[in-house]
Amino acid sequence: MEKIILQTKQLVKTYKADSPSPVYALKGIDIQLKKGEFVALMGRSGSGKSTFLHQIALLDRPTSGYIAIKGVDVSELSEKERAEFRLKMLGYVFQDYALIPELNLYENIALPMMALGKKKKEYNKEVLEIIERVGLHGREGNLPSELSGGEQQRVSIARAIVNKPDILFADEPTANLDSEAAAVVLNIMRELVDEYGQTIIMVTHEPDDKKYVDRAVWLKDGKLQSSQ
């Protein structure tokens, strides 16, 4: 039996719930993600993709409904436990890379290790391996401003996986990239799934990205449409 790593039941998110004009962003989402699966979350702008990702990635709290990650009902976690869960078990990649401009490539990638209180001698080998893995060997000392958009996104992927997260969440990771740089990023994500069994859920509105993933699900007006 395939292992379910993340599950939602009747997940609802309403923004401005107490105002005269509430926004019903998620209207009851049921989904199951399997371990080692690469899932694309598709849909038009405003369909609720980022909202859904933020709820399941523990970056926000839903209005109602159930989310379990590795069998843990995350609504039961305190803020401190959620922070620890994010740092140890989840990885994030955003459209705008979200790198620290003052830190070089190596330091940006090592940041989650430092946040866990690890020493350089404990993480150095791993960080260098990951830099090699994303094809940026030799660029360790460069600042983000000295890298192309595609290279910056590869740094953000490296940072997201350095702690070996159970799930990698990516919100339109290739939206700001030209098609060549986008293909490099998507191929790296595919290889992480094939080589390490990384679980990835990626928001995209590019239908062609389907060829990189195991399954695509569509959101429309806050509801899950179909799965294939």
Positions in the binding site for ligand ADP (CB under 6 A): 15-16, 23, 25, 43, 45-51
Burial 42-72 (b: 16+ CB within 10 A, else e): bbeeebbbbbbbbbbbbeeebeebebbbeee
Q: Of Mg ion, ligand ADP, none, which one does residue 158 interact with (CB within 5 to 8 Å by kind)?
A: none
Q: Of these, 7, 8, 47, 50, which contacts Mg ion (CB under 5 A)? A: 50
Residue 12 φ then ψ, to 5° = -125, 135
Q: How far is the CB of 13 from ligand ADP (least distance, A)?
A: 8
13 or 49: CB nearest Mg ion? 49
Contact call for residue 198 and Mg ion (CB under 5 A): no
User: Where do we find the tokens 């009902």?
Assistant: 73
3-state SS assignment for residue 101: coil
45 or 228: CB nearest ligand ADP? 45
What amino acid occupies position 14? T
147 or 219: CB nearest Mg ion? 219
> If you count them, how many residues does the chain have?
228
Dist. CA 98–CA 92, nearest whole Å: 10
Q: How far is the CB of 47 from ligand ADP (least distance, A)?
A: 4
Contact call for residue 153 and Mg ion (CB under 5 A): no
Contact call for residue 55 and Mg ion (CB under 5 A): no
The residue ranges that bind Mg ion (CB under 5 A) are 49-50
